[in-house]
């Protein structure tokens, strides 16, 4: 994960087949209907985009070459984002602006490349994500007050699915950092930070399902957007 280099374990007899690779980090937004594209389908979508845009993408070496695309964080289905990260490798060096323009020309509605750089940080540096959550309960309650009460509990016990143990109960009280919450046109609007990355990962749906149970109400509407990806040192991931 992170910054990728050309494999150096090729034997002399196949060195002539070695293809140079140039690494790029793409920051893109995922909005509207595009938020319902699954992680697996996103890989397929970008594969088609690169083909249409005639991007000289690098393929893995060996008997089963595959297009090299890496997403450090999967985005939950139905969540929008301003800051999704995708690492790709090319077989030739390209100007960042040209690469962004060519990819955007082939993008479907809801997807847009906002920035192209060379990778500066490793994926393992990612520690958290910041989210904007806009939500409304079905009954007209003081949603902001209820949400603050929910987060002020000594324990915030929620259910989280584990690959090994199935559905388990966990306390996420130490993991939730509420930055702000306000009322806007009948909605509660919260900005908060949750753990993301290899060490720990808390999905917004885990937090909000717990709140729904606490409030004893279903959501009338809820919209979630990832607004930042944050490193262990508190910087924006680049």
Residue 61 in tokens: 């070496």
The confidence score (pLDDT) of residue 62 equals: 79
The residue whose two tokens read 């003081």 is: 142
Topology annotation, domain 12-120: Alpha-Beta Plaits (3.30.70)
Q: Establish whether domains 12-120 and 124-231 are of one fold.
A: yes
Q: What angle do CA 207, 210, 212 make, to 5 degrees?
A: 110
The confidence score (pLDDT) of residue 41 equals: 95
Burial 82-121 (b: 16+ CB within 10 A, else e): bbbbbbbbbeeebeeeebbebbeebbeeebbbeebeebeb
pTM, whole model, 2 decimals? 0.88
The confidence score (pLDDT) of residue 3 equals: 41
The total number of residues shown for the chain amounts to 238
What are the sequence ranges of the domains in the chain? 12-120, 124-231
SS (H, E, C) 60-128: CCCCCCCECEECCCCCCCCCEEEEEEEEEEECCCCCHHHHHHHHHHCCCCCEEEEEEECCCCCHHHEEE
The confidence score (pLDDT) of residue 1 equals: 42
Phi and psi at 29, nearest 5°, equal -105, 150
Adjacent-strand bridge partners of 41: none
What are the C-alpha distances in Å from 98 to residues 17, 93, 109, 198, 238? 28, 11, 20, 33, 19
Residue 195 in tokens: 């753990």
The confidence score (pLDDT) of residue 42 equals: 94
Adjacent-strand bridge partners of 116: 26
> What CATH superfamily is the domain 124-231?
Ribosomal protein S6/Translation elongation factor EF1B (3.30.70.60)
SS3 231: strand
Rounded distance, CA 81 to CA 138, Å? Answer: 25
Chunked mean pLDDT (size 10), the chain, 238 residues: 40 54 97 95 95 95 87 94 98 97 98 97 97 93 94 94 83 97 96 95 96 95 98 95
The confidence score (pLDDT) of residue 110 equals: 98
């Amino acid at each position: 994960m992170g910054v990728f280099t050309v494999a150096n374990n090729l034997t002399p007899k196949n060195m002539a087949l070695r293809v140079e690779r140039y690494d790029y980090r793409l920051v893109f937004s995922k909005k509207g209907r595009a938020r319902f594209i699954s992680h697996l389908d996103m890989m397929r979508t970008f594969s088609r985009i690169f083909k249409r845009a005639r991007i000289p993408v690098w393929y893995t070496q060996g008997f089963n070459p595959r297009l090299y695309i890496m997403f450090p964080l999967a985005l939950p289905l139905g969540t929008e984002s301003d800051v999704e990260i995708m690492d790709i490798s090319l077989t030739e060096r390209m100007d960042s602006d040209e690469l962004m323009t060519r990819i955007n020309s082939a993008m479907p509605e809801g997807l847009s490349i906002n920035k192209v750089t060379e990778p500066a940080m490793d994926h393992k540096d990612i520690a958290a994500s910041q989210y904007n959550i806009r939500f409304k309960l079905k009954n007209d309650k003081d949603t902001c007050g209820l949400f603050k009460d929910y987060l002020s509990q000594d324990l915030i016990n929620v259910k989280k699915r584990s690959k090994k143990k199935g559905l388990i109960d966990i306390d996420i009280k130490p993991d939730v950092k509420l930055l702000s919450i306000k009322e806007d046109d009948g909605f509660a609007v919260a900005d908060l930070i949750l753990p993301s990355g290899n060490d720990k990962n808390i999905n917004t749906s885990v937090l909000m399902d717990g709140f729904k149970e606490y409030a004893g109400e279903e959501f009338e509407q809820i919209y979630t957007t990832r607004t930042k990806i944050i490193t262990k040192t508190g910087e924006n991931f680049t």
